[in-house]
Amino acid sequence: MILKEDIYKRIETDFGTESNKAIEILCHAIEKTDYLNTDRIIRCIVFLSKGNLNDLQKYIIAAANDPRDIILWAEYEKLSDDFNYKRLRDFNISFEVSKINVRV
């Protein structure tokens, strides 16, 4: 499995010495569940995991159940009510340029 360069860099930055294990877990999940094999889904999983292997596995499971959930969690911020969200990131593009709005 070949991941995009920005994804490898983010995994190395976030997971540090556990980055090889994180890549192994992620690649195994993608081989097992083919529809996870999109850059957007992978970026969302990595972003939400914040360098924690347990969270990585948790978000992989959530994505396997319904990838729309992790897209919502990673790219949007919930506003005042249950049906009002604001998009903050776009993980269709690399981590470096994915921010739509920067919060102060």
Question: What element of type H or E holds 12?
Answer: helix 5-15
Question: What element of type H or E holds 48?
Answer: helix 39-49
Question: What is the reported pTM?
Answer: 0.89
Question: What element of type H or E holds 86?
Answer: strand 85-87
- Whether 53 is covered by a domain: the verdict is yes
- Whether 42 is covered by a domain: the verdict is yes
Residue for token pair 């996870």:
36
pLDDT tens digits along 4-46: 999 999 999 999 999 999 999 999 999 999 889 999 999 999 9
Does 94 have pLDDT greater than 50? yes
* Residue range(s) defining the domain that contains residue 28: 5-97
- Whether 85 is covered by a domain: the verdict is yes
